Structure 1
Amino acid sequence: MLLRFRMTSPYFSQNRTVVTRRCKQIDTSTAAVSLLSGLRKRRNVNAVKIEEEEARVCLSTPDGSQDLFQLATVLPKLETDVPPSSSHGRRRRQIKVEYDEGAAPAKAEHWQPPDWRKQLGFIRDMRTNRDAPVDHMGAEKCYDAEAPANVRRFQVLVSLMLSSQTKDQVTAAAMQRLRTHGCTAEKLLSTDDDTLGKLIYPVGFWRNKVKFLKLTAAMLVKDFGGDIPDSVEGLVCLPGVGPKMAHLAMDIAWDQVSGIGVDTHVHRISNRLGWLRKATKNPEKTRKALEEWLPRELWSEINWLLVGFGQQVCLPTNPLCSVCLNQHSCPSAHQNSPAKRTKAQTSSSPALRTNKNTVVKDETTSGELGRVNSASQRRTAR
């Protein structure tokens, strides 16, 4: 019995028929070996895989047709297993790229003034006596210590509202008159504007402060039972209360440090000492700049230290740098701005003006004398 098989594998260069007889295994084995050897020459196949397939084909059943069928199914699989060869005959290695997703961001540099601890120590030494106006007439000294807690807190807030653009001596006197009149939210709310204005006069912007006190008292009676809010957010919502007053009220009234109370003294001295990375133009920006580097345990102390220091030594105009212990480390020491010249000073001096007037008078007199002499000469000629 003759069996015809057409080999359709792409590894055969020509289509031809293979004739086998039953029980004649040597012909089929020889054909299989020749096919594999030709494939080895054409393709760069792994030698280990080829040897395994050769052994498996030669050890098959006596029927040679099964070997050819098996070889026809194995060869395409070997073609897919062969890796693509490069120009150098080997496979290129792939570079593995790793990403470090869990890396922590770089920390920003913590800026601090170079000599701030030394300068602060000198300011403490200069404030040892505590004899500045803020020490005796500040917001901590203006409330009635024997009043109920809510009344004491309200009086602290009132004294802070009155102290804006006002000296401590004037604020303390106004608070004394208010306490004699009755300084509670309910009492101020029932007081007419004229009477309240006379009680707080002559504090700065007293007319506006009368309105703010009445509006604030009404809000506190309605929403807080005559007490003051216990948060900065609640305090700044009151009419006439800014961030400085809110932080100081939290510190004095509620004994909570929420921020630095920056007034004109703290703002001025911080810029003079170089305690800010960049010069600031208003107290609120100064507060934010100070809170970035100043330790929190110093936030409560820094206000009364710098306020008293500004009232006694580091004055707004003509500061006493010669008696200041920081005169050798302060970048603004002995740099007073020159006094402004008035229009009279820019013009000629009084003596020069007098001389000019004298010269003018002399010229006028000589001119008049010349005219008189000319007239007398004409009369004589006639």
Structure 2
Amino acid sequence: MPQVRWKTRFCYVVRTLTMTSPYFMQSRPVITRSGDQNAASLRSKLTTRRRNQGPGSSVEVKVEPEEARISEQRPSSAPLSTETDALLLSSHSRRRKQLKVEYDEDEGVPPVKTEHWEPPDWQKQLGYIREMRSSRYAPVDNMGAEKCYDSDAPAHVRRFQVLVSLMLSSQTKDQVTAAAMKRLRAHGCTAENILNTDDEALGKLIYPVGFWRTKVKYLKLTSAILQKEFGGDIPDSVEGLVRLTGVGPKMAHLAMDIAWDQVSGIGVDTHVHRISNWLGWLKKPTKSPEQTRKALEEWLPRELWSEINWLLVGFGQQVCLPVRPLCSVCLNQHSCPSAHKISPTKRPKAASPCSPDPTSASTEPGQESDVKHERLKKEPLPTPVSPNAPKRRIKTKVKY
């Protein structure tokens, strides 16, 4: 029995010294793995009470059951000195600095605005083009798509005729397109009548527009979609228009402007594409009308999008021709970077396949394969032979 009492007193003294050690006083509240925070609060209270009494006080501390349980769970180790405690605390604070999570402070800062680019003399050049176009005698002024529909027809029929004229104008002079539309209107230019007309009769009505065989198929397929889904009318959005067979971005934007009186984008054909590059109205030279449209819309004010197609198309038909542009009479010859440099030294022959059509429109994206196929398929018309014409004598070489 005396030996058991001695061991009990020794354990009590050791526990008391542990409670009053600086290491125990500077340590933070401990939370057990089970999440019991009551033990941590009890330990904090005991530490505060011991600090108030002084580290050298010999007052006995009553050990609560929770404190006893925490002390038993604490790993047994020798008390550390004050210097060792300071080193541990300093190393701990250094580790915390390394593990500190820093948030991006630039999340609320707006992005830096890029400088707005525009051609240096574009307003002056545009004013000169308006002055040169004031006479309004270009083919587009009298035979363009906005002049080819029947003004007395119902609204949905007028819109359908605008779309048909735009489809026929691809790779075709305005004079030829206007004549074809006149024949179609006399026949009945509605989606229902187009579907009821056989391909041969429809081809005779639109001939000789460029690639008329391909356009017969396009008109039939487009009329079927419009009759089934829109009741003979045309879609009122660019997305809906470009879904139609044979309709590209240029036609869609022009149809939105002429038929629906809504400016959705710039209609860029071969004239707008060519002249914009020649005038230096693009930040970088472009290779397709669609690239030119996107580049122009980046800087050109929106209130000019509807006018720019009409201005540049007529200007390209009158002055800024694809072959031998009339730079000597152009008011922009002193500010245009391409003035007197574009004209070829020798004009190609009219029958040459590389001679462009001055008043033709560009082929829409996605139609190149059909156009190429029709070009190979197209046969020259037979020339009439007079019965009284002398017969040509065919010479044959005889090999000896």
> Which TM class, normalised by the smaller chain length?
0.5 to 0.7
Q: Which residue of 1 aligns with 2:168?
A: 162
Q: Does 1:272 align with 2:278?
A: yes
Task: Give per-residue Cα distances to partners, 1:334-382, cap 9 Å, x unaligned.
Answer: 112543599xxxxxxxxxxxxxxxxxxxxxxxxxxxxxxxxxxxxxxxx
- Alignment check: 8 A CA contact 2:323 2:347 kept: no
1:199/1:99 CA distance change after superposition, 3 Å: closer
Q: Does 1:232 align with 2:238?
A: yes
Q: Does 1:330 align with 2:336?
A: yes
Q: Secondary structure at the match of 1:212?
A: helix
Tell me the CA shift for residue 122 of structure 1. 2.0
Q: Does 1:99 align with 2:82?
A: no
Q: Which residue of 1 aligns with 2:248?
A: 242
Code of the residue aligned with 1:99 in structure 2: it is D
Q: Which residue of 1 aligns with 2:212?
A: 206
1:150/1:9 CA distance change after superposition, 3 Å: same
Where does 1:334-373 land on structure 2 (aligned, <5 Å)?
334-339=340-345
Q: Which residue of 2 aligns with 1:150?
A: 156
1:180/1:84 CA distance change after superposition, 3 Å: same
Q: Distance in 1 between matches of 2:211 and 2:61?
A: 112
Code of the residue aligned with 2:306 in structure 1: it is S
Tell me the CA shift for residue 92 of structure 1. 7.7
| Higher RCO, Cα 8 Å, sep 6+ | 2
Alignment match of 1:171 (pick from 147, 170, 177):
177
- Rg comparison, structure with higher value: 1
- Alignment check: 8 A CA contact 2:266 2:305 kept: yes
1:86/1:135 CA distance change after superposition, 3 Å: same
Tell me the CA shift for residue 99 of structure 1. 2.9
Q: Which residue of 2 aligns with 1:316?
A: 322
After superposition, the CA RMSD in angstroms is 4.2
Q: Does 1:180 align with 2:182?
A: no
Code of the residue aligned with 2:186 in structure 1: it is T
Q: Secondary structure at the match of 1:152?
A: helix
Whichever structure has more helix as a proportion of its residues is: 1
- Alignment check: 8 A CA contact 1:57 1:67 kept: no
1:146/1:80 CA distance change after superposition, 3 Å: farther
Code of the residue aligned with 2:116 in structure 1: it is H
1:302/1:80 CA distance change after superposition, 3 Å: farther
Q: Does 1:254 align with 2:260?
A: yes
Q: Distance in 1 between matches of 2:155 and 2:187?
A: 19
Tell me the CA shift for residue 119 of structure 1. 1.9
Code of the residue aligned with 2:203 in structure 1: it is G
Tell me the CA shift for residue 104 of structure 1. 3.0
Q: Secondary structure at the match of 1:214?
A: helix
Task: Give per-residue Cα distances to partners, 1:178-224, cap 9 Å, x unaligned.
Answer: 21222122222222222222222211111211222222222222222
- Alignment check: 8 A CA contact 1:86 1:92 kept: no
- Alignment check: 8 A CA contact 1:273 1:332 kept: yes
Q: Distance in 2 between matches of 1:155 and 1:173?
A: 13
Q: Distance in 1 between matches of 2:141 and 2:200?
A: 31
Q: Secondary structure at the match of 2:334?
A: coil
Q: Which residue of 2 aligns with 1:126?
A: 132
Tell me the CA shift for residue 298 of structure 1. 1.6
Code of the residue aligned with 1:311 in structure 2: it is Q
1:86/1:210 CA distance change after superposition, 3 Å: same
- Alignment check: 8 A CA contact 2:222 2:245 kept: yes
Q: Distance in 2 between matches of 1:245 and 1:90?
A: 73
1:154/1:79 CA distance change after superposition, 3 Å: same
Tell me the CA shift for residue 260 of structure 1. 1.1
Count of paired positions: 309
Q: Distance in 1 between matches of 2:347 and 2:316?
A: 26
Tell me the CA shift for residue 171 of structure 1. 1.0
Q: Distance in 1 between matches of 2:222 and 2:82?
A: 87
